[in-house]
Structure 1
Amino acid sequence: MPDAPSPEALAPSLVGEEYEVEVGPVAHGGHCVARTEAGRVLFVRHTLPGERVVARVTEGREDSRFLRADAVEILEASKDRIEAPCPFSGPGKCGGCDWQHAKPGAQRRLKADVLAEQLQRLAGMTPEDVSWDGTLEPAPGDKLPAGEVPAWRTRVQYAVDDEGRAGLRKHRSHEVQPVDHCMIAAPGVTELGIERRTWEGIVTVEATAATGSQDRQVVLTPRPGARLPIVELDRPVSVLRVGEKDKALHRVHGRDFVRERADERTWRVGAGGFWQVHPKAAELLVDAVMRGLTPRKGEMALDLYCGVGLFAGALADRVGETGAVLGIESAKRAVEDAQRNLEDFDRVRIERGKVETVLPRTGITEADIVVLDPPRAGAGKRTVEHIASLGPRRIAYVACDPAALARDLKYFKDAGYAPRFLRAFDLFPMTHHMECVAVLEPVQKAG
C-alpha cells in the first residue's frame, strides 16, 4: 500500500480564506452554491439564495474541486432570513440544524427546490411527471410563526466532551458543542435533563422519548476503561450501556425496549432499533402509504426493509385473513421485535437478511403490492428490477433521501413503472432532511 503523501506534497490549504460572493441556488445537504470571482465553487452554509455574504472556507485546498464554507458576514440579507432562535446555531457551532436562520415557509420551499432539482438531474423527471404539487407538507402542529421552533426530535444522541458536558457535534466534525438545551428535542427528551448533569467517563448519551407511551430510555457509551456512572435523571428511565469489547447493548436498569404507538397498535422497538424520530411521522407515513396502495382483501404484500413491522402490520390489517404479508429486514433485533409485534397475524412472515439476497431466495414470483423503505443509500438497481419483475399493481416507496429516491425512480422507470403520485413531508424541521412517499404503477396503468 503506498505511503500517504507528506504535508509538503499536498496542495496548500485554503481553510480560513474569505471570499465576498453572491449566493446562488440551494443544494442538497443544507448549503447553497456560490462562486468566487475566479469561478471556484463554494458550498456555503448559514446563508440563503440571493444573499451577498462573506464566506470563510472551512474545508478545501488549492486543488479541490470545490470548497466548503460558512457565511460569517451577511452583506445583503434575503427577505426570508430571520435571527436564528437557537443560540447554538451558526458558523462553527452545532451542526444539527441547517436552516435555523430561515423562516419556516422558506425552509420548506428550499427543501422542495432540492427535491425538484434531484428529480430533474438524476431521474429526468419534473414535478408534473411524478404528480407532485411541488410543496413539502408540515406535520400537524409544526406550522409555527417565524422564530418559534417545533420540539419534534424524540431521539437525540448527545456527544460528551472531555469535561463531561453533553452537547452536539459541530458540522462535519468530532468536536463537541456543549448545549444547555436543544430546541428541537421533544419535551420527553428535555425532561430527562441530559444537558444539566456531568457525564464523566462517557462518550455519548442517546436519549429516547417514546410516542404514545411514557417509556424513556438512555443508552450510554463509556470511554475505554471507564466505569459506568450512577445515573440519576429527572424522571424514571431505562438505562442501557454499549459494551466496551463487544459493542452490544447491555441492560443496566429497566426495559431494553420502548413502546411506540401508530396505526392503532403498540409497537415494541428494541434499543437502537429504527423508529421515525418525529412523533407524527409514523402515523402520517402509514396513512400516505395505505392511501396510495389501497390494499384489498386477499392480496399478497411485501414489506421490504420492514424494521419492527410498522408497514407489515398495516398491510396485514387490510389484506385480511385471506391475504399474506412477507417482511424482510437485516437487523437481528428488529426482526425479533417485528415477529413479536405481529405474532397475532397468522399470515405474516418476517425473514432476516439483506433484501437483495433474501427476496430472490423466497421463491416468490409475483406480488400484488409492495412497500419499500430503504436506508439512506436507496434500494439500488438490482432490487428495483427484482421488485418490478414480480408485477405488483402498485408500489409505495418511502424515502428519506431525495437523491436516492430520484436514482431509484429512474431504475423503476426503466423497469416499466411510473409514479402515480409523490408526496413530500417536512418531518425534520430546521434541518435539510425530508421524507417522501412515491406510489408507482406499471406504465400501461399509470394515470
Structure 2
Amino acid sequence: MADFDEKQIAIFAQNWFQLTDPVKGERFIQKLKENESIQELASSPLLLTLLCLVFGDSGDFPANRSELYKEGLNVLLKKWDAKRNIEREQVYKNLSLQRKEDLLSQIALTTFEQKDYFFKQKTTEVYIADFIRNLRDADTDPKVLKLDSEAVLKFIEAQHGLLVERAKGIYSFSHLTFHEYFAAREIVANSALESLVEHITEISWREVFLLAAGMMRKADDLLLLMKSKIDSIVALDDKLQYLLQTVYNKSLSVKYNHKGAVVRAFYLEHALFFSYSVLDYCSELTKALGFNIEVDPEIDFDEKLTDALEIVNSDPAECLSYALSLNLNLEPEFQKSLQNLKKQIPYPDDPKKWMQREDKTIKQWLHDLRSLIIRYRKICYQDELNDQQCELIWNYYDANTLMVDCLNSDCYISRQVRQEIEDSLLLPISEGQK
C-alpha cells in the first residue's frame, strides 16, 4: 500500500481508537509528533497498525526501537489472537510465541544473508520443515512435515501478515523492517557478532546493526568488533594512513572546546569533499558527534575558506570577507595574500560565470586560493586517490558514521568502552596503538 501522509495517519489513528478510547487516539497523534523516528514508521499503513496495537496495549512507545518491534510483534503473534478469540490449527497452536519468533528469525537471517528479499514458497516451506522437525514430539515423516510446513506458512500469511505472497509462489516479509528485525534477533540469539561485522560496509545491513545493538543486554562486544573491523578497512593503505595522520596533526593545532574526534571528523569530511570528491558536501559524521561550528573561530575560518572553493553554492567574496573579519592571529603574508585574492575575484557580480567553471581567470583564482589553503592551513590536499582508495575511504567514513549512530542509540554500552571508541575514532593506526 502507498505511504500515508500526515493527515491520513491522523484519520487512521482517530478511527482506530474511536470506539475504545478517543482520548488515547489524541495522545497517540501527539506522541507521534514528538518522536520523529517513530513518525517515519507511521507512514507505512502496516507499521502504523503495529504502532496502534502497541500504543493501545501500553499507552506509550518504547524508547528502544527494537523493543517497539518486539512489543508490536508480541501483540500480533499472541495477544491479537486472544482478543479476537481465534483458535489456530494444532500444528501452529503448539508453537509458543518464542518458537514462532525463532522460526521467523531463522527464515529472516537465512534469506537476508543471501540477499533474497523475495523467496520461493517451496524454499520457505523447506526452511519451516527444517525448523519444526527439531521440535519435541514433532512428526518427522517427510509427508507430514511437508503438510505441516505448508499449513504454518499459510497461517503466518493469513493471520499475522508477516509473510505475504507477492506473486504466485513468491513470498517476502510484509515490510523490510520485519525482515531486518528478525535477522537481527537471530544474530543476537546465536551471538553471531563476528559474522555481522563482516557486513559493516553494506548499506542494506545498516538497520540490522542498529537493531542488534538495541537488543543486546550489553553491546560492548559488538561495538568493539565494529571498531576493529572499521580500522582494518584502511589499515594496509599507506596513502590513506597518511591522510588520517595529516588530519590528526591538523586537529592537534586547533583549540576546540569539544572532543578531538569531532575536529578530526570535520577536517576529514573537508578533505574527502574538496580534495578527493569522495563525499558529496555533507556532515553526517560531525553532526552525529555533536559538532557546532559556531564555538570555534579557527574552524569557522577554515570552513569559510573552503566554502569559497565551492563555486556553485557560495559567494567567494562574502566568504573571504567573513573569514578575514574573524579575530585570528594569521601570518601577515597569508593575510595579505587573502586580501589580494579578494580584490582579484573575477566577475563578483555575475554568479552565472562562476557556475560555468570554464573561465581561465576563475580557474586560476581558485588554484591560487587552494594553494594558499594547503600552504598555510594544511587542508585541501593536492595528491590524488585511485578508485580503490576512494572506495575504501568512503566505506571507512560510512562505517564510522554507523558506529557513532549505534553509540547515540538507546543501546546499553559501558562508559569505558564508549570512551575508548570515541577517543580513538578516525585515528591512524600508529596513533590508535598509542
Smaller-chain TM-score bracket: under 0.3
Q: Which has the higher helix share?
A: 2
Q: Which has the higher strand share?
A: 1
Q: Which has the higher contact order (CA 8 A, sep 6+)?
A: 2
